[in-house]
Amino acid sequence: MERSDTPLLDELEKGQWPSFVKDMKEAARKNPMAKDLLKQLELSYKDKIGHWKHGGIVGVKGYGSGVIGRYSDRPDLFPHVQAFHTMRVNHPSGWFYKTETLRKLCDIWDKHGSGLTNMHGSTGDAILLGTTTEHLQPCFNDLSDAGFDLGGSGSALRTPSACVGPARCEWACVDSLDLCYHLTMAYQDQMHRPMFPYKFKIKISACANDCVAAIARSDLSIIGTWKDAIRINADEVRAYAENINIQKEVCDLCPTRCMEWDGNKLKIYDEDCTRCMHCINVMPKALRPGKETGASILVGGKAPIVKGALLSWVVVPFMKLEPPYDELKDLIERIQDWWDEFGKSRERLGELIQRLGMRVFLKAVGLPAVPQMVKAPRTNPYVFFWPEDLKKEEK
Amino acid sequence: MERSDTPLLDELEKGQWPSFVKDMKEAARKNPMAKDLLKQLELSYKDKIGHWKHGGIVGVKGYGSGVIGRYSDRPDLFPHVQAFHTMRVNHPSGWFYKTETLRKLCDIWDKHGSGLTNMHGSTGDAILLGTTTEHLQPCFNDLSDAGFDLGGSGSALRTPSACVGPARCEWACVDSLDLCYHLTMAYQDQMHRPMFPYKFKIKISACANDCVAAIARSDLSIIGTWKDAIRINADEVRAYAENINIQKEVCDLCPTRCMEWDGNKLKIYDEDCTRCMHCINVMPKALRPGKETGASILVGGKAPIVKGALLSWVVVPFMKLEPPYDELKDLIERIQDWWDEFGKSRERLGELIQRLGMRVFLKAVGLPAVPQMVKAPRTNPYVFFWPEDLKKEEK
Amino acid sequence: MAKTDIGPPDYKTMLPPVIERNYGKWLYHEILKPGVLMHVGESGEALYSVRAGSPRLVSTDHIREICDIAEKYCQGFLRFTSRHNIEFLLDDEDQIEPLVAELKSRGYPVGGTGHSISNIVHTQGWVHCHTPATDASGPVKALMDEIYEHFVESKLPAHVRIALACCLNMCGAVHCSDIAILGIHRTVPKTDNSRVPNVCEIPSTIASCPTGAIRGDMKNKTLTVNDEKCMYCGNCYTVCPAMPIADPENDGISIWVGGKVSNARSKPMFSKLAIPFLPNNPPRWPEVVHAVKNIIEVYASHAKKHERMGEWIERVGWERFFALTGIPFTDQHIDDFDLATETFRTSAQFKWR
Amino acid sequence: MAKTDIGPPDYKTMLPPVIERNYGKWLYHEILKPGVLMHVGESGEALYSVRAGSPRLVSTDHIREICDIAEKYCQGFLRFTSRHNIEFLLDDEDQIEPLVAELKSRGYPVGGTGHSISNIVHTQGWVHCHTPATDASGPVKALMDEIYEHFVESKLPAHVRIALACCLNMCGAVHCSDIAILGIHRTVPKTDNSRVPNVCEIPSTIASCPTGAIRGDMKNKTLTVNDEKCMYCGNCYTVCPAMPIADPENDGISIWVGGKVSNARSKPMFSKLAIPFLPNNPPRWPEVVHAVKNIIEVYASHAKKHERMGEWIERVGWERFFALTGIPFTDQHIDDFDLATETFRTSAQFKWR
Ligand code: SRM
Ligand code: SRM
Ligand code: SRM
Ligand code: SRM
Ligand code: SF4
Ligand code: SF4
Ligand code: SF4
Ligand code: SF4
Ligand code: SF4
Ligand code: SF4
Ligand code: SF4
Ligand code: SF4
């Protein structure tokens, strides 16, 4: 038997879970970049260290973003990955594809790149993993011809993403897919030509289950909700009662304890319900969100760098969201303008609000303060007053 | 009828609650200082502003604390309160008095001061409210002869205080009174001669009801607790069941939901109990704390200035507390030494720990890290490692 | 020469014999009626405590009156509580009623036990301090007159602890009260730079500012406040007398709710801002009295038994608290200090009102 | 010249007819078995989704294989999920079993629905990034092999979401996962001051440090790190290539638990530190796999139905979590960054273990 070049990685071909090493080898068989990538990765497994240099700035004509530059620190050993840039490609809302479209993408990538991809990146883009500087523009041209465009990188808007929403989910309170597409199209400029203090992410989940983790990883998080009562199908509730313990599994786990079950009838005190989705999740045939639907708008979510991670928080409890989404776009633009004006370099929106205070933010973007914005009011007495709150001083 | 000098304050003689104005007038009848105080206060009521100047440093021989200097900003109008200093007097643990002792205090204060007092100050001292600079030393001499001493002020230890504890309360898990007296006596020097970065307060509550609010207002908070099982008197439980709804009022309000009541027998899963006291509070005849008693030691509590208010937090989950309390005193001294060395001027212990981190604090005072110290472990990944945690670097 | 460092009188010499005998061996207690506690020892012996309200700012004659009463009914034994009430300690059950009657006739309210409103912990105010933004004893008296029934009766869902502090130093630790009444300034200190070189240390003044609003010029020995960053805490004045902050027109009172100290059921909690500003309106602060009464009434009619103010609000939500009390919510309620982000609503769970 | 700013293909052109017809009018869903969802529209029509696991790092040939399958069973319609699984979208119930069978025969795990462990959201690692402290795809593969049963079956108390990020930038937002696997450095960056003037901007490098550990000398164009203040986040390296931080001997992995994103029942929560450090041990990271499995098993055997990891821990307490898992608690678990005091146990309520 031949000695393998990649004894360590070979270990990861074993086991039941699909193996990325198999995919790398598959690509390596026809593509020298993929082959060098595999070998460089093996070296990393041996050395326990990455072998990529600090990224450089590369791109396509007219754009400032969408490509992550990458160079090997061992081009002597792995010349085919000397330059190995990633292209981020806007995905169709909800990551729906027809196979013909996917096949086009594959053909383009076999022509220009390593033949390796991420379907998809954590932000949501289709990630085309590794090509040379020379291939960037031709690859982009082919993508564009096939109806694809690049996503964001650097201090720019990122490709918005959305949960599957109304395409398949009975709980969708807003049309997450349409809104995602609409915003992606409306803000192509902000995505492709970095002009913000830092990155800006938008994610849309059509209900509070938040299946795109919007609250944790977007500067602007849109989460569907409703204003009226949960719709109850009493017969289906009784049907569930035969299989599950409604008191224990539903009522007792309701965070506001606003449900009563007498063994026959379920009563919900909707004015106390915080629309957490739990009861609906457990009894999808019996309960449905209300009919007066829209979304809560939250801002500030982000990963730890620099000032610590933030979850997005409520700034608009309820907004109706219907095309052309003017109210929302107005708000987004007011927010971005303010951030753009006052944000320091590499300061995310949430960090800027943290630094300057919600009151300054709210005044600047013209939103009224409401208790839904906070878990609880402040505990420290370090309260600012606006000059107009004060009586004129006599002296 | 004569026009009153104090028309505004007179309004506060009305009503059912005992009136401080009556007391001030009572004192004013025999004491010119009290009289000028009353008149100056009336002026404040008219002007809506205080009429005291920024305090100055005054005191008695050998001490750097115990007196709060105070001067009127209108000595022209109120010459008798031109100087009007407060003396803080150590109280007997638990604020127990024999009337003869109290009468002595009154006599001394009529002789030297305004005849007005606070029984007691918020820290716990008997506050003798207002005397002149000349009277400070003679007053102290008389106090000392009568068996009294001063409390703390400035950057010094404050008079420790304690809940009524074993003197009257069936729930006392430590002898709060004895411990309070012991510490007060042991640390007279730290109390009378300011040598810390800032004030330091010790408060002792003999159970988690915390009747001296130790957790909110002492740098070192001692809160009684127990390690074994709650003692249950099953007959008395049943007796309570005739008057209260045990399920609703006791079990459902238990924060850990560790109690079961079947209408006849109460079962407590003591390993889950966090000794919050609620069930015992509601059924004092039926339930008692366990027998293996001691205290949790918490640190850091303080009011908002400068960095925001802090509640004390656990640093020693359990300590047996018996005379001569050496383990506790060792710990207090290690803590104070560290604070003394690293604390900036006007930096409370809690703020210092906040600035340097618990890990530095724990290492310095020699306490092991335990999960009881936190509500939850950290969420940010900004974790320090001690050099000894690391492998030696090869190069 | 007076002896120093002798400390306080030994508490053991102050205890009535019934306590000496049962010290550390109490079995249970009962509240016989508002203000009257019975503690029963393992020995079977009982101690009766009768609790009376006090204005705390008391004259020596007032103390002597208390002594008279204690001598008449309690062999001269009494104590003060951690909330500054007076407790008369009896071992003879038969003396309770005569004592209570005498207290009432002399105008001492008896109560403060159980689910009542006990004495208001408070501070110096205009009576003795240099930094107050309001008086202490005055608002306390005005308020206690109006909520007197809640001291002498015990009919609330749970304890309601009220405290007042006359400035942000928060002597008395109002920051963990069911209802906290807090004096606040609202204008920037007026620095008198002619006095700064003589009375202030520049670095410590700069360090005193929680928001870093103060800039110092070491050469010219002057201090400047950045008005936009100043939130009027007055801490600079504490360290530098040349920065007075009191302002009769704009000083006043803020109201905070939902704090607690005990560990019973819920953990200790800070009070949270309910009303950012009410005017100083001596002698009876009607706006403050009205606001506090409103909060108490709404709480009393909505909370469940044993539910402290903060526990009730946590259960129903702050949006509901503001709706029920009719208190307007403003941008001042939203924290903007160091830990502000911890208070933001980082979830989609909320009520419409 | 290529057209710019055309955006992605319109999703509407990608939807299967059954979705077009029932768009926004779904009535309910059922999980027919692990990996197989049925969504029923108000029309009565049903859509079947079959979910298959994916390594995410896939070759074009792999994608073509998926396309082949989708064409065979689903008229060429499929989607990817927010956790990078593949979903085959069918309208013909009879095709489910043949599809599932073919998927299995080709080595695609079918599952990830309901109370299972779905795909591990992860990042680039040594495959493509410049700052990783560990690999991404490798540990994910090693772990998924070992917890495979939890993907293809649905027998946990609730969803368990695992995510991995190879450095503190936390691409993929691991910070809100039931279990987060996070690459960490543990040594101070080694500044190469000869390169600083050419490749780094001094002020932005200084500003990049969360703990203010970096001092700059503008005149000599050098940077110095205060070792005591550095917690190895690597952010300086992101802005200044002359400050490499990778260290083969000391880089490794930390484990975080109890985060969630959904608003169901409890509010979204951050994950909290469980294990500060495990070594990088390629190719199969046995220490990491073992540690994660242990946490899953303890959770599985103690949590109640519908209780997410974090909800279970909050209910029983962190002291219990550490006792049950046998994970040692260290001073590193105690927060010492900006909001640390919010995490301290400011109450006397705790369990002994
Ligand atoms: C490719 C991707 C990871 C993946 O494997 O999926 C990725 C890769 C990188 N991220 Fe990321 N991030 C990716 C999604 C995320 C996410 C998740 C999300 O967008 O939903 C986050 C957390 C959410 C957030 O933005 O806060 C994320 C938080 C970061 C951060 C920290 C930002 C912060 O404010 O804390 C950095 C650091 C930076 O910007 O300098 C970063 C930086 C980077 C860089 C550009 C490295 C750098 O320092 O310049 C990485 C390039 C890797 C490479 O060589 O290809 N990446 N990054 C994801 C983008 C793919 C896509 O476009 O679909
Ligand atoms: C007299 C008293 C209020 C009362 O009416 O009861 C009082 C009065 C003063 N306090 Fe206090 N404090 C008093 C208990 C407290 C408490 C409560 C306690 O000790 O339990 C606190 C909150 C707990 C704490 O210490 O954190 C308290 C927190 C402060 C602070 C803020 C400290 C902080 O770290 O946040 C200051 C400001 C300072 O130290 O500069 C302060 C400062 C002051 C000064 C000395 C004013 C000053 O800035 O120099 C006040 C003198 C008033 C006067 O003219 O007599 N006082 N002070 C209390 C002491 C009486 C006694 O000895 O029994
Ligand atoms: C006398 C005093 C201790 C002292 O050393 O002076 C005391 C005495 C008792 N407390 Fe207290 N507490 C005293 C201040 C406190 C404080 C501190 C404070 O108010 O500043 C607290 C914390 C308050 C807070 O959480 O904000 C306090 C929280 C409790 C609790 C817990 C209440 C709760 O549910 O949160 C109990 C239990 C109960 O009453 O059911 C309690 C129970 C008791 C008992 C029943 C203990 C006993 O078995 O003897 C005593 C009679 C209570 C009553 O008034 O009904 N004591 N108690 C204090 C009376 C103050 C007053 O004049 O009103
Ligand atoms: C397909 C997908 C949306 C998408 O656009 O791609 C999706 C689809 C559904 N989610 Fe989700 N969720 C999807 C990611 C998420 C995420 C995001 C994530 O995991 O990164 C979350 C938040 C997770 C968290 O809290 O950390 C999420 C939290 C939920 C929940 C709330 C679970 C909880 O109790 O906390 C439900 C309700 C339920 O399952 O009972 C839910 C329910 C559902 C339902 C039942 C909705 C419906 O009626 O169609 C769908 C099938 C669920 C299933 O797998 O059993 N979905 N769901 C995502 C599948 C990812 C995967 O491949 O595994
Ligand atoms: S977020 Fe809500 S609407 Fe969107 S897919 Fe998930 S459950 Fe459905
Ligand atoms: S959605 Fe949540 S809060 Fe509303 S009734 Fe259902 S479980 Fe309760
Ligand atoms: S703190 Fe506990 S022991 Fe002390 S008096 Fe209060 S209830 Fe009794
Ligand atoms: S003391 Fe508190 S936690 Fe313990 S059983 Fe009683 S109510 Fe529950
Ligand atoms: S609260 Fe402020 S004004 Fe009132 S006594 Fe304390 S320091 Fe003085
Ligand atoms: S009042 Fe407070 S905030 Fe304003 S300058 Fe002085 S210390 Fe700073
Ligand atoms: S987590 Fe860090 S190392 Fe991994 S891809 Fe993101 S930036 Fe790169
Ligand atoms: S690694 Fe992080 S903490 Fe260390 S110097 Fe760089 S930025 Fe600062």
**Chain C residue at shortest CA distance from B88:** C8
Write down the pLDDT at residue D173: 79
Judge if the beta carbon of residue C99 lies within 6 A of ligand 9. Answer: no
Mean of pLDDT over chain C: 97
pLDDT score of B395 more than 60? no
Neighbours of chain B (3+ CB pairs under 8 A): A, C, D
B67 with B152: CB under 8 angstroms? no
CB contacts of B170 in chain C (<8 Å) are 26-29, 39
> Which ligand 1 atom is at minimum distance from the Cα of A120?
63
How near does any CA of chain A get to the CA of D216, in Å?
Answer: 18
Q: Which residues of C touch D349 (CB under 8 A)?
A: 263, 267
Chains that touch D (3 or more CB pairs under 8 A): A, B, C
pLDDT of residue A394: 40
CB-neighbour burial class of residue B328 (10 A; exposed 0-12, middle 13-18, buried 19+): buried
* Ligand 10 pocket at CB < 6 A: C 189, 208-209, 211, 213-214, 225, 230-236, 245
User: Residue D217, Cβ neighbours under 10 Å: how many?
Assistant: 12
| CA of residue D118 to ligand 3 center, whole Å | 51
Distance between CA atoms of residues C33 and B243, nearest Å: 16
- Report the percent of chain D where pLDDT is more than 90: 99
Chain D environment of A46 (Cβ under 8 Å): 282
Ligand nearest to the CA of C261: 3
* Nearest ligand (C-alpha, residue D87): 4
Write out pLDDT tens, residues C25-37: 999 999 999 999 9
Q: From atom 49 of ligand 3, which residue's Cα is the shortest distance away?
A: B169
Of C336, C339, C310, give the one whose Cα is nearest residue A369: C336
Q: Name the DSSP letter for residue B311.
A: -
Q: How far is A391 from chain C (nearest CA, A)?
A: 6
Residue minimizing CA distance to atom 2 of ligand 5 = A207
Is residue B379 less than 8 Å (CB to CB) from chain A? yes
Mean pLDDT of D232-236: 96
Which of B237, B258, B270 has most ligand 8 atoms within 8 Å of CB, for mutation? Answer: B258
Query: What average pLDDT score do residues C311-327 get?
Result: 98
For residue D321, what pLDDT band results from cuts at 50, 70 and 90? very high
| Closest residue to D351, CB basis, from B274, B298, B362 | B274
**Nearest chain A CA: its distance from D220 CA (Å):** 24
For the beta carbon of residue C211, count every other beta carbon within 10 angstroms.
Answer: 18
Query: SS in 3 state form for chain C?
Result: CCCCCCCCCCHHHHCCHHHHHHCCCEEEEEEEECCEEEEEECCCCEEEEEEECCCCEEEHHHHHHHHHHHHHHHCCEEEECCCCCEEEEECCHHHHHHHHHHHHHCCCCECCCCCCECCCECCCHHHCCCCCCCCCHHHHHHHHHHCHHHHHCCCCCCCECEEEECCCCCCCCHHHCCEEEEEECCCCCCCCCCCHHHHCCHHHHHHHCCCCCEEEECCCCEEEECHHHCCCCCHHHHHCCCCCCCCCCCCEEEEEECCECCCCCCCCECCEEEEEEEECCCCCCHHHHHHHHHHHHHHHHHCCCCCCHHHHHHHHCHHHHHHHHCCCCCHHHCCCCCCHHHHECCCCCCCCC
Please state, in angstroms and rounded to a whole number, the distance separating the CA atoms of residues A77 and A89.
Answer: 30
Largest CA distance in chain D: 75
Chain C nearest CA to D177, separation (Å): 15
Kindly state the average pLDDT of the residues B231-256: 98
Asked if ipTM goes beyond 0.85, one says yes
Shortest Cα distance from A301 to chain B (angstroms)? 14
User: Does residue D258 have a pLDDT over 90?
Assistant: yes
- Residues in chain A with pLDDT values less than 50: 393-395
CA C89–ligand 7 middle distance (angstroms): 17
Looking at residue B3, its pLDDT comes to 85
- A207 Cα: distance to centroid of ligand 5 (angstroms): 5
pLDDT of residue B290: 98
> For residue A200, what are the β-bridge partners?
A157
> Quick one: three-class SS letters along chain A?
CCCCCCHHHHHHHCCCCCCHHHHHHHHHHHCHHHHHHHHHHHHHHHHCCCCECCCCCCCCCCCCCCEECCEECCCCCCHHHCECEEEEECCCHHHEEEHHHHHHHHHHHHHHECCEEEECCCCCCEEEEEECHHHHHHHHHHHHHCCCCECCCCCCECCCEECCHHHCCCCCCCCHHHHHHHHHHHCHHHHHCCCCCCCECEEEECCCCCCCCHHHHCCEEEEEEECCCCEECHHHHHHHHCCCCHHHHHHHHCCCCCEEECCCCEEECHHHCCCCCHHHHHCCCCEECCCCEEEEEEECCECCCCCCCECCEEEEEEECCCCCCHHHHHHHHHHHHHHHHHCCCCCCHHHHHHHHCHHHHHHHHCCCCCHHHECCCCCCCCCCCCHHHCCCCCC
Percent pLDDT > 90 in chain B is: 96
Q: Rounded to whole angstroms, what are the CA distances from A251 to A260, A281, A323, D158? A: 7, 13, 37, 17
- For residue A284, give the ligand nearest its CA: 4
pLDDT digits (tens, 9 = 90+) for B300-358: 999 999 999 999 999 999 999 999 999 999 999 999 999 999 999 999 999 999 999 99
Q: Which of D267, D339, D346 sits opposite C268 (nearest CB)?
A: D346
Ligand 7 centroid–CA B97 distance in Å is 19
Q: Is A5 on the interface with D (CB under 8 A)?
A: no
Residue D111 Cβ contacting ligand 1 at under 6 Å: no
D-contacting residues of B 347-386, CB under 8 Å?
350, 354, 357-360, 362-363, 369-385
Looking at residue A395, its pLDDT comes to: 36
Best mutation site among D122, D124, D137, D164 for ligand 11 pocket (most ligand atoms within 8 Å of CB):
D124
Round the average pLDDT of chain B to a whole number and report it.
96
D45-71 core/surface letters (b: 16 or more CB in 10 A; e: else): bbbbbbbbbbbbbbbbbbbbebbebbb
Q: pLDDT by residue (tens digit) across A295-343? A: 999 999 999 999 999 999 999 999 999 999 999 999 999 999 999 999 9
Q: How far is the CA of B317 from the centre of ligand 8 (A)?
A: 17
Size of interface B-C (CB pairs under 8 A): 358
Determine the angle formed by the axes of helices A20-30 and D137-146, rounding to 10 degrees: 130
Q: B56: pLDDT confidence band, cut at 50, 70 and 90?
A: confident
Share of chain B above pLDDT 70, in %: 98
Q: Residue A345, Cβ neighbours under 10 Å: how many?
A: 14
Nearest CB partner across the interface for B309, out of A304, A309, A380: A380
* pLDDT average, residue stretch C125-142: 97
**Which residues in chain B are contacts of A309 at CB distance < 8 A?**
379-380
Q: Which residue is closest in CA terms to ligand 8's atom 8?
A: B254
Q: Is the dihedral of CA A114, A116, A120, A122 positive or negative?
A: negative
D137 lines ligand 11 (CB under 6 A): no
Task: State whether residue A380 sits within 8 Å of chain B by CB.
Answer: yes
